[in-house]
Amino acid sequence: MIQFLLNQRLHRESQLDPNTTVLSWLRRTQQRCGTKEGCASGDCGACTVVLAEPAGDRLRYRTVNACITLVSALDGKQLITVEDLKQRDQLHPVQQAMVDCHASQCGFCTPGFVMSLFALQKQGGQGSTEQALAGNLCRCTGYRPIVAAADQLAAQETADDQFDQTEAQTLARLKALAAEASVSGTSSSQPPAGVRQLTHDGRRCLMPGSLDALAAAYLAEPQARLVAGGTDLALAITQRSQRFPLLISLNQVPELRAVEQQPHQLAIGAAAPLTDCLPLLRERIPAFADLLTRFASQQIRNQGTLGGNLANGSPIGDAAPVLLALNAALELRRGSETRTLPLDDFFLGYRQTALQPGEFITRILIPGVTVSQKEAASMPLNVTTSLYVYKVSKRLEDDISAVCAAFNLDIQHGVVHRARLAYGGMAATPARAHHTEQALVGQPWQLATVELACRALAEDFTPISDFRAGSAYRLQVAQNLLRRAYFEHAAPQQIIKVTDYV
């Protein structure tokens, strides 16, 4: 059973096909048709809704794409749709700002923009308008009036709305639901102890409430498909009409959502939403955080996870190159067994990984992250480890990489002591550039060395041509990115990133 609030109304659902998306549940069973379906693939933002969940003693409001969010993700949350914003005949300030600024023409994208601006407003000015709106597309109004509406809102002193007024009460209700779920889960014997279940017509979703319960459930039914954020998996449902007979949700397992600095490494829970990884990464590995802000859109980052990004084994997943360059390892669990596998050994072939049946990723471990940026900044300048991460795609945001590159260089006294270079989009899997690394290590860090390394890159990769980029283009770009790292290293103050000057 899942339990959630639709605005203020409690829903307890146990007989629901777990392949149902939040969008079709809203439109087909609740007749809430304000939330639109544009692409059904997470690209346009017309279906944006907001999920509120407890974060300490406040509620945290986040956007998601209802079209690729499965209903199991609603458990323990408050679902807010565009219908909930108006109070009696009074528009919500976000809606009023859109009207005032003439920010809607055909209106199809408008509910999605309104919900993204609503979530931005609820962050109390912490997020940026660009990031908040990057996952919403408008094909007729043009973005200027929409941005003007965002600016008007930011400048306004807004009084508490109905959500602020009922926040304490909503928070208490959600916390009570969580407490109830943990009790009902552990006392149940069918499904196994500690696992709740959503089922309909022979299709099931198991929802373990702990790591042990998850490990036992997956070992017992290794044919199940795991679902974390569902931002990859749900596309099989919406684009290829697939229906999964058995899903196991990772969303209710607290151990998989922790993001922590340990004495000598960062440990990132495999099912922590990317948005939750950002604060620590921004502090410890800023180049990784910069990459994540270009990862899909805000809606996707609020759902998608590093575990899902790696486990789907895509050659163009953005996290893999940077994690390979950082020499990350994966903590894997199968039944009661835990093992640690270097990410270097994880990708076996096109969309093939080293995961055994019934095995899953619990944490991503990034070694050697021991000092804060502030401390690192005070280290001697000629003893540096430099991380350069580049994503090349047609659009800045909400786009998949044609090529993604990450270079982790240890340059001491002008000589390359260690180089870990990794690329996505260049081969059947994300991969290290071993020949190129050899061409660099032990050599002086100068342009001539970099040119030799660029030649070695052609030995490492024979990229394919597809609709994103041609083979020759990919190779040229991959070489140019290495040259670019050289120039950035040589003149760190020089502004060469497009995001720094547009």
Ligand X SMILES: Cc1cc2nc3c(=O)[nH]c(=O)nc-3n(C[C@H](O)[C@H](O)[C@H](O)COP(=O)(O)OP(=O)(O)OC[C@H]3O[C@@H](n4cnc5c(N)ncnc54)[C@H](O)[C@@H]3O)c2cc1C
Give the binding site for ligand FES (CB under 6 A).
37-40, 42-47, 65, 67, 104-110, 138-141
295 binds ligand X (CB under 6 A): yes
CA angle at 320 for the pair 319 and 326, rounded to the nearest 5°: 95
What binding mask, one character per residue, do residues 162-191 give for ligand X by CB under 6 A, x or -?
Answer: ------------------------------
Beginning with the edge strand found earlier in the chain, give each strand of the sheet holding 9-13 in spatial order: 9-13, 2-6, 78-80, 48-55, 58-65
Q: How far is the CB of 101 from ligand FES (least distance, A)?
A: 12
296 binds ligand X (CB under 6 A): yes
Q: Within its chain, how far is the Cα of 77 from the centroid?
A: 19
By a kind-dependent CB cut-off of 5 to 8 A, residue 328 interacts, out of ligand FES, ligand X, none, with none
300 binds ligand X (CB under 6 A): yes
- Find the part of the chain contacting ligand X (CB under 6 A) among 113-121, 222-230, 463-471, 493-501: 222-230
Q: CB of 320 within 8 A of CB of 347? A: yes
Report the amino acid identity of residue 291: L
The answer to whether the peptide bond before residue 191 is cis (omega within 30 degrees of 0) is yes
Task: Give the pair of three-digit tokens for residue 374.
Answer: 């502030």
Q: Of residues 52, 134, 270, 457, which one binds ligand X by CB under 6 A?
A: 270
Q: Which is nearer to ligand X, 248 or 439 (CB)?
A: 248
Task: Give the pair of three-digit tokens for residue 301.
Answer: 């980052």
233 binds ligand X (CB under 6 A): yes
Q: How far is the CB of 425 from ligand X (least distance, A)?
A: 10
Q: Which is nearer to ligand FES, 143 or 473 (CB)?
A: 143
304 binds ligand X (CB under 6 A): yes
Q: CB of 192 within 8 A of CB of 214? A: no
307 binds ligand X (CB under 6 A): yes
9-13/246-249 β-pairing? unpaired
Q: Within 66-85, which residues bind ligand X (CB under 6 A)?
A: 68
Q: Which is nearer to ligand FES, 114 or 323 (CB)?
A: 114
25 binds ligand X (CB under 6 A): no
Read off the DSSP letter of residue 257.
Answer: G
- Find the part of the chain contacting ligand X (CB under 6 A) among 50-58, 110-118, 308-316, 473-481: 308-316
Report CA dihedral (297, 286, 391, 237) to the nearest 10 degrees. -30
Read off the DSSP letter of residue 236.
Answer: H
Q: Which is nearer to ligand X, 101 or 332 (CB)?
A: 332
By a kind-dependent CB cut-off of 5 to 8 A, residue 482 interacts, out of ligand X, ligand FES, none, with none
308 binds ligand X (CB under 6 A): yes
- Find the part of the chain contacting ligand X (CB under 6 A) among 16-24, 299-307, 447-455, 461-469: 299-307
Segments in 65-192 forming alpha helices (H): 93-100, 110-122, 129-133, 143-155, 162-165, 167-187
118 binds ligand X (CB under 6 A): no
291 binds ligand X (CB under 6 A): no
Q: How far is the CB of 375 from ligand X (least distance, A)?
A: 30
Q: How far is the CB of 311 from ligand X (least distance, A)?
A: 3
Report the amino acid identity of residue 495: I
Q: Of residues 229, 315, 321, 463, which one binds ligand X by CB under 6 A?
A: 229
Give Cβ neighbours of residue 295 (< 8 Å, ≥ 6 apart). Answer: 274, 301, 304, 318, 319
137 binds ligand X (CB under 6 A): no
Q: CB of 40 within 8 A of CB of 238? A: yes
The residues facing 63 across adjacent strands are: 50
By a kind-dependent CB cut-off of 5 to 8 A, residue 139 interacts, out of ligand X, ligand FES, none, with ligand FES
Q: How far is the CB of 227 from ligand FES (least distance, A)?
A: 17
Task: Give the pair of three-digit tokens for residue 313.
Answer: 């084994």
DSSP assignment of 2-46, as one string? EEEEETTEEEEESBS-TT-BHHHIIIIIS---SS--SSSSSSS-T
Q: Which is nearer to ligand FES, 10 or 106 (CB)?
A: 106
Q: Is 415 exposed, middle or buried (0-12, 13-18, 19+ CB in 10 A)?
A: middle
By a kind-dependent CB cut-off of 5 to 8 A, residue 307 interacts, out of ligand X, ligand FES, none, with ligand X
Q: Which is nearer to ligand FES, 138 or 457 (CB)?
A: 138
318 binds ligand X (CB under 6 A): yes
What binding mask, one character per residue, do residues 246-265 give for ligand X by CB under 6 A, x or -?
Answer: ----x---------------
206 binds ligand X (CB under 6 A): no
315 binds ligand X (CB under 6 A): no
Q: Is 473 exposed, middle or buried (0-12, 13-18, 19+ CB in 10 A)?
A: middle
CA distance 272 to 301: 10
> How many positions of this chain bind ligand X (CB under 6 A)?
33
What binding mask, one character per residue, do residues 405-444 give for ligand X by CB under 6 A, x or -?
Answer: ----------------------------------------
Task: Give the pair of three-digit tokens for residue 482.
Answer: 């290495």
CA of 238: how far to CAs of 69, 70, 137, 313, 351, in Å? 10, 11, 19, 20, 20
93 binds ligand X (CB under 6 A): no
Summarize as ranges the residues that interact with ligand X (CB under 6 A).
Answer: 41-43, 68, 225-233, 250, 270-271, 295-296, 300, 303-305, 307-309, 311-312, 317-318, 355, 360-361, 400
